[in-house]
Amino acid sequence: MCLGQIVSQLQYHPPAENANTPERGTVASRRTAGRNNPLGAGWSTSVGSDYHLDPQRDEIGVIPCPEARYNRSPIVLVENKLGVESWCVKFLLPYVHNKLLLFRQRKQWLDREALVDITCTLLLLNPDFTTAWNVRKELMQCGVLIPEKDLYLGKLALTKFPKSPETWIHRRWVLQQILRQSCAVGHSGEQQQQQQQGEEAPPADRERSQQLSDHMARTLHQEMKVCSDAACRYPSNYNAWSHRIWVLQHMAKGNVKVFHDELSSMRLWVSMHVSDHSGFHYRQFLLQELTAELSQTPPSTSTTTCSSHHQSSAAPSVSPPPNSHAQANGELSAAEAAGEEEGQLGFPTVPQLFHQEMELCSDLIQSFPGHETLWSHRRHVFYLWHQWRSEQQHHCSSKGSSNSVHLNDGDATLPEVDAQSCADRGDSVNGRGRTTEPMEVDRASLPDPRDSKRLKRGVPPPAPHTLPSEHSFVRGVLDRCSNTEQRHFVLAYKKWLDTVIGQQP
C-alpha cells in the first residue's frame, strides 16, 4: 500500500446523523468513536502499514493539535520522521486497545497481518501495554515475526518513550532469542568440526561463522546506539543504563576491548552530563569489569560460553614480545617497540585506569563545582582503587612472604614500588600473560622497560593515589572553594576518607 492510497483512505467525511446516532459530546458517542469508529481502523492500518512499508523511520512523535482543522490525514511523514496529530490519539488508542483485548479474550478473530498492525500501532502510541508485547512474543515464536523487526519497533517507540520499562524488558527477551539462535548455530558448527578433525573447514562453514560474528557485532553496536540515544533524551535514564549493562554482561562478557572502548567513549559523555548519576554508575561498572579482567588470568583461546564464542568485536589478541627478544644493546626493535606501545595505549594497566579516572574526576570537580554526582563517583573510584591495592598487597605478601614488597598508603614517593610492582610483573600490559612467581626486592629494583619508554616519550609513570594525596586534593579544593554546596561536598568527602578509608588496615 503506497502513501497516496493510505492518505486517500483516511480522508475524513463526517457521517450523516440519524435517530440511532448518539448525540455528539455524550459518553456514548465518545465510546463509540473510540472503539467502533472506522476512522480508528483506517488510522491503525496507516500507522502499521507505514511502519512495515519503510523500516527507515528513526523517530515517532505526537504533534500537538487539539482538533482537526483540515480535511487531511492525521499521519504526518517528514523525511524519516513519523508524526501523529494529537487529536486522533483519543480515537486511535482506544480502538486498537479494544481490538487487542477482544482477540485475547477469543471474542474476535484477527489474521496475523492485522494482529501485527494493531500491536505495532498500540505500542507506538503507548509501549507500556504488556499484552501487546506478549502477543508479539507469540508471533515471533511462531515464526511470523523476526527478532530484528521487534528490535526496530522498540527502537522507534523509545524515541517517544525513552524510559518505557516494558520496552526494555521486551528488548532483552528478543536479544535472548538472538543469542539462543547464535548458540545453536555455533554448537552445530563445533560438532561438525569435531566430526571432521584433521580436515580443513569447508568454505561454507567459515562464511557462515563469519556472517554470524558480523551479525552479533552489528547487534551489539546497535544496542549501544539505542541506549545512548535514550539516555540523551531522558536524563538519568536508569532503565536505559541498566539495559546497557545487561547487554555487555551477556553479549561481551570478558571482552576487554569492548569494555575499554566503552570506557573511552563514555569519557566525553559524562563530561557533558555531570549530574547524571546513572551514567556515572555505568562508568563504575565498566571500571570494575576491566579491573577484574585485567587482574586475573586471561581466558584461553577456546571459548567456554556462547556469549564469548560470538564476541566478534574482540580484536585478535597478540601477546607483546618477551624481554628475551630484546636486542643485544638492551633496546627493543622498532617493530617490537611499536607493538608494545600500541598494546599499552590500547589496554592500559589497572593503576593507569584508576589514575586516568581520578584525573577525570579532578578535572570535572574543578570545572563544575557543586555537583554531588562527581563527588560520589570519586568516592566510589577511590574505594575500588584502595580495595584493589589491598588485594594486591595481600597477594604479594602471601606469595613472596618476607621477600615481597609491602605497600604503604602513606608512602606516595615511590610510584614504582606499589601494587603495580606485583601486578605488572605478573600480568602483561593488557592482562594476557601472567606468571605466579613472587615479586622479589632485587627484581623490583630493576628498571621497568615500560617506564623507560614512557620517559623517552616524555610521559612519567603515574604516581599512585593514596590517602595523603586525597587529603592534599581536598585541602586544595577548600582553599579555592567559593561555592557553598561545593564546600559541603568536600567536607563530606573528607569525613568519608577519615571514617572509611582511614580506619581500614
Residue range 369-397, pLDDT digits in tens: 999 999 999 999 999 999 999 888 888 88
Looking at the fold, whether 388 and 440 belong to one and the same domain comes out as yes
235 — pLDDT class (breaks 50, 70, 90): very high
From residue 301, alpha-carbon distances to 97, 209, 423 in Å are: 51, 17, 22
> Distance between alpha carbon 259 and the CA centroid of its chain, in Å?
9
Residue 218 has pLDDT above 90, yes or no: yes
pLDDT at 273: 96
Q: Which residue, among 477, 499, 493, has the nearest Cα to 376 in the 3D structure?
A: 493
pLDDT at 446: 42
260 within domain boundaries: no
Q: Which residues contact 475 (CB under 8 A, 6 or more apart)?
A: none
Looking at the fold, whether 44 and 73 belong to one and the same domain comes out as yes
Which residues share a beta bridge with 434?
427
Looking at the fold, whether 244 and 289 belong to one and the same domain comes out as no
88 within domain boundaries: yes
Residue 312 has pLDDT above 80, yes or no: no
Helix extents (H) in 161-276: 165-195, 203-233, 238-251, 256-272
Higher confidence at residue 389 or residue 38? 389
For residue 53 the three cell numbers come to: 512499508
Higher confidence at residue 220 or residue 300? 220
Mean pLDDT of 327-356: 57
User: Using CA atoms, how far apart are residues 159 and 225, in angstroms rounded to an integer?
Assistant: 12
According to the per-residue pLDDT averaged within each range, which of 205-209, 331-335, 359-363 is highest? 359-363
Rounded to the nearest integer, the mean pLDDT of the chain is 74
Strand, helix or coil at 503? coil
17 within domain boundaries: no
Lowest-pLDDT choice from 48-52, 118-122, 324-328, 448-452: 324-328
pLDDT at 105: 86
Question: Quick one: what percent of the chain has pLDDT higher than 70?
Answer: 63
356 — pLDDT class (breaks 50, 70, 90): very high
429 within domain boundaries: yes
CB 496 within 8 A of CB 377: no
User: Using CA atoms, how far apart are residues 24 and 30, in angstroms rounded to an integer?
Assistant: 8
Looking at the fold, whether 70 and 90 belong to one and the same domain comes out as yes
For residue 130 the three cell numbers come to: 504488556
488 within domain boundaries: yes
Looking at the fold, whether 40 and 133 belong to one and the same domain comes out as yes
Looking at the fold, whether 144 and 168 belong to one and the same domain comes out as no
CB 415 within 8 A of CB 462: yes
Residue 258 has pLDDT above 80, yes or no: yes
pLDDT at 463: 72
User: Using CA atoms, how far apart are residues 32 and 396, in angstroms rounded to an integer?
Assistant: 77
For residue 63 the three cell numbers come to: 504533534
Which residues share a beta bridge with 62?
84
Higher confidence at residue 278 or residue 404? 278
305 within domain boundaries: no
Looking at the fold, whether 118 and 237 belong to one and the same domain comes out as no
Looking at the fold, whether 148 and 117 belong to one and the same domain comes out as yes
25 — pLDDT class (breaks 50, 70, 90): very low
Mean pLDDT of 134-155: 94
Lowest-pLDDT choice from 161-170, 194-203, 346-355: 194-203
pLDDT at 396: 83
Lowest-pLDDT choice from 18-27, 131-140, 169-178, 263-272: 18-27
Q: 10 Å Cβ neighbour count for 203?
A: 8
Residue 39 has pLDDT above 90, yes or no: no
pLDDT at 170: 98
CB 9 within 8 A of CB 83: no
For residue 169 the three cell numbers come to: 524488558
Looking at the fold, whether 222 and 112 belong to one and the same domain comes out as no
Q: Which residues contact 274 (CB under 8 A, 6 or more apart)?
A: 364, 368, 371, 373, 374
Domain that includes residue 365, residue range:
273-294+343-505
Q: Which residues contact 232 (CB under 8 A, 6 or more apart)?
A: none
Looking at the fold, whether 242 and 177 belong to one and the same domain comes out as yes
Looking at the fold, whether 103 and 228 belong to one and the same domain comes out as no
**Residue tagged 527507515 (cell numbers):** 56
Looking at the fold, whether 439 and 497 belong to one and the same domain comes out as yes
Q: What are phi and psi of 137, to 5 degrees?
A: -60, -45
398 — pLDDT class (breaks 50, 70, 90): confident
65 within domain boundaries: yes
195 within domain boundaries: no
Lowest-pLDDT choice from 4-8, 226-230, 378-382: 4-8
pLDDT at 192: 59
What total number of domains does the chain contain? 3
The string of pLDDT tens digits covering residues 449-478 is 455 444 444 455 567 789 999 999 999 999
User: Using CA atoms, how far apart are residues 367 and 361, in angstroms rounded to an integer?
Assistant: 10
